[in-house]
């Protein structure tokens, strides 16, 4: 199974919205909100393409000169989960935040999503607060998480990380981002 990350473009909006509505059925963003996010100079949105189809997306908001940023969203199609692609999207956003000079990176995750919480903890995020009943109409708390990026370096360029376990990012490397992130995974994948 092969996948590639690339910057999202306006033509990806329809595919992103299909994933958005499937992943977040009760609190999906509107097409207009997502279109504005894709066009914003303060963010970076990526799409994960597998077999020619958008199978995931993720977004970062980190205005130039700001020392904190937010991971706005990460979603992988249900049929494409279990291959480490959520981690690949997350790591690409973290690397972009580091390159933008972000010191504190925040995100919110549903309290009823332990898989996503574990992913974020494994990449250095910790719980710093809760927003009771934040996700409506489900009455689910938002767990606010934060990662301190002050000692973190950009890990690898997209060309250097394939997404296989043996090719996972190496925190000791400091490189620049410049292109498409590829993942060639064995059938059945990992994670």
Give me the active site residues, please: 108, 120
How would you label 135-168 residue by residue, b for 16+ Cβ within 10 Å and e otherwise?
beeeebbbbbbbbebeebebbbbbeebbbeeeeb
How large is the C-alpha radius of gyration of the chain? 16
> How many angstroms from the chain centroid is the CA of residue 88?
8
Cβ contacts of 122 within 8 Å, gap of 6 or more: 87
Q: Decide the pairing of beta strands 140-148 and 104-110.
A: antiparallel
Paired tokens of 153: 């370096």
Distance CA(43)–CA(52), nearest Å, equals 24
């Amino acid at each position: 199974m092969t996948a590639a990350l690339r910057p999202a473009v306006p033509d990806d909006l329809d595919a992103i919205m299909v994933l958005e509505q499937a992943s977040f059925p009760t609190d999906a963003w509107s097409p207009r909100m997502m279109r504005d996010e894709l066009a914003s100079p303060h963010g970076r949105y990526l799409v994960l393409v597998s077999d020619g189809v958008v199978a995931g997306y993720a977004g970062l908001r980190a205005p130039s000169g700001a020392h904190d940023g937010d991971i706005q969203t990460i979603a992988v199609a249900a049929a494409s989960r279990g291959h480490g692609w959520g981690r690949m999207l997350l790591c690409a956003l973290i690397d972009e935040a580091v390159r933008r000079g972000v010191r504190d990176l925040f995100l919110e995750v549903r309290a009823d999503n332990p898989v996503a919480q574990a992913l974020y903890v494994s990449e250095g995020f910790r719980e710093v607060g809760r927003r009771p009943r934040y996700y409506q109409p489900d009455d689910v708390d938002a767990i606010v998480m934060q990662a301190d990026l002050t000692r973190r370096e950009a890990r690898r360029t997209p060309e250097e990380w394939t997404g296989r376990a043996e090719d996972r990012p190496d925190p000791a490397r400091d490189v620049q981002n410049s292109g498409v992130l590829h993942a060639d995974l064995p059938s059945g994948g990992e994670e």
